Amino acid sequence: MRTLTVDSADLAYGGGEPVLRGITVTARPGELLAVTGTSGAGKTTLLSAMAGMLPPRAGTVAVDGAEVGDRDRAVAQGVVLIPQDNGLAAILTAAENIAVAVIATGGSPADARRRTAEALDALGLSGQANQLIDELSGGQQQRTAIARGIALHGTVVLADEVTSELDAANRQRVLELLRAEAARGAAVVLATHDPEAAAVCDRELHLADGAAVWARP
């Protein structure tokens, strides 16, 4: 399993002022890392950089010492992202969204079918597998995105506010599933502003005023 390292990274969009400066953090295999902070603190920015979607202006983002590079390379290194907006294709059903991602990341069609079914079952969405995304509620859509993240069997799993639209039971279920991912050996990073969700994690990095502080190192 692999370790994700962010070392002295300045993160900024375009030519603007950095949103985060000098961030250093490591996500280790088998552990759940919470990234907390208020709205706009830079949680999504940090996860975007970890996912290879935002190159750091300074510093490095690496998996086992290898630069993450762009998103395609990150995917190749097993970095899975569950985006805040779920990132689901409206034209596809819940099952198809998962299957496409599994096949795109190298899974066989048979793997895709099996892992899709398992993931949806784990999230309680077996009955919604063949429904179009627009036909699902906000919570169902979020769980579909999580199911996809789990089905991908990544080495690094980045979950951005994945419990924001869930009821307590489903939030618990999702946190357990993320724990199971960590138990499988994945490095799991959970961006959240929910203290209860953060409390479940092994460590907590708090973002504020463009800097990172270890709330629980």
Contacts with another protein, residue ranges (CB under 8 A): 51, 53, 71-72, 75, 81, 83, 87-92, 96, 99-101, 103-105, 108-109, 112-113, 132-135, 148, 152
Min. distance of Cβ 104 from another protein in angstroms? Answer: 4
Rounded Cα–Cα distance for residues 148 and 217 (Å): 29
Our CB check for another protein shows the closer of 43 and 148 to be 148
Rounded Cα–Cα distance for residues 77 and 112 (Å): 19
Q: What are phi and psi of 162, to 5 degrees?
A: -85, -5
Residue type, 195: P
Our CB check for another protein shows the closer of 70 and 167 to be 70
Our CB check for another protein shows the closer of 31 and 96 to be 96
Q: What are phi and psi of 63, to 5 degrees?
A: -115, 120
Q: Between β-strands 211-216 and 203-208, what pairing exists: parallel, antiparallel or unpaired?
A: antiparallel
Min. distance of Cβ 217 from another protein in angstroms? Answer: 30
Our CB check for another protein shows the closer of 40 and 109 to be 109
Q: Where are the beta strands (DSSP E) in 52-117?
A: 58-63, 66-67, 79-82
Min. distance of Cβ 67 from another protein in angstroms? Answer: 18
Min. distance of Cβ 73 from another protein in angstroms? Answer: 11
